[in-house]
Amino acid sequence: MRYEGPIYRPPSEADSLLIQATVGCPHNRCTFCMVYKGLKFKVRPTGEIKEDLEEARRQFGDRVRTLFFPAGNTIAMPTAALAEICRYSYSLFPRLQRITVYGSSQYIVRKGLPKMRLLAEAGLKRLHVGIESGDDEILRRVQKGASARDHIQAGRILREAGIEMNAYIMLGLGGRERTLRHARESARVINEARPQWLRLRTFVPKINTPMLEEVLSGRFVMLSPHQVLRETRALLEAIEVPLRVSSDHYTNYLNLAGKLPEDKEALLRTLDEALTWEESSFRPFFIGTQ
């Protein structure tokens, strides 16, 4: 198997076969993200991707159960090519149960329901979607390239196509100035997009990013651990749709996992308990390098 540039995958894909379908990110402008900077987005030739799948078949036989196609925004690749490599994967790995990619809302909306349905029929089962915030002002400031409306539309398209949405909210992304709005608007978008999973990340400034400069110059004031926990509380409290919550990431201050609505009270109690701890007991500030 051949790989080019950074290969990222969500923690929930730790056991998946990784076969690179695209290089870089076609958007590549989010001000908090350092992952694919300096790399030009490209789609690998279908023949090469198939060769890598065949090599994986020789190495792992029929042990492959889940497959992830990196890199950032593989959903942006031509629909026919993505559908072809999905179908080919199922023909090579008889026990394959799930194929997953990263996909931002703007690319899901651009493809629309008919193309997403075609991908679902080809066996694309799950998308990891960086919503980051439901607040349009925050989305504009971080140059996400998608509005709250796009996120909601993407959620509706995925639900109708039968593809599972794993939505990511980045806690603290609005700084002190917009924390309440960030929580409230993000809950509104989640309530309307209705993802099956809500995955929480906490904003950590990364090297070589515009947001690190904003933090260091004092233009962006980060939340303290308690403020992040309060924001998380406000977000979870306002969610009214059934979903699974997970904070499966090293950036978070607290490990939260459960199902809404049944575990909501327990999750809120966990947050309230953590709010009684000294702020110094949480992880320290750091600048992210990956």
Residues of this chain that bind ligand SF4 (CB under 6 A): 25, 27-30, 33, 35-36, 72-73, 104, 130
DSSP 230-277: HHHHHHHHH--S-EEEE--STT-SS--EEEETTTHHHHHHHHHHHTTS
Sign of CA dihedral 196, 202, 208, 213: positive
**Cα gap 118→121, rounded to integer Å:** 5
φ, ψ for residue 258 (rounded to 5)? 175, 180
Q: Tell the smallest beta-carbon distance from residue 104 to ligand SF4 (Å).
A: 5
Nearer to ligand SF4, 74 or 252 (CB): 74
Gap between the Cα atoms of 35 and 23, Å rounded:
11
Q: Which is nearer to ligand SF4, 8 or 88 (CB)?
A: 8
* Cβ 145 to ligand SF4 shortest distance, Å: 7
Of 210 and 258, which has the nearer Cβ to ligand SF4?
210
Q: Omega before 261 cis (within 30°)?
A: yes
Give the nearer residue to ligand SF4 in terms of CB position, either 224 or 251: 251
Cβ distance to ligand SF4 smaller for residue 29 or 259: 29
CB of 197 to ligand SF4, least distance (A): 17
Query: Is 44:23 a contact under the CB 8 Å cutoff?
Result: yes
Q: Minimum distance from CB of 128 to ligand SF4 (Å)?
A: 10
Residue 95 CB, shortest distance to ligand SF4, in Å, is 30
CB of 121 to ligand SF4, least distance (A): 26
Decide whether 73 or 246 has the Cβ nearer to ligand SF4.
73
How far, in Å, CA of 161 to CA of 113, rounded?
6
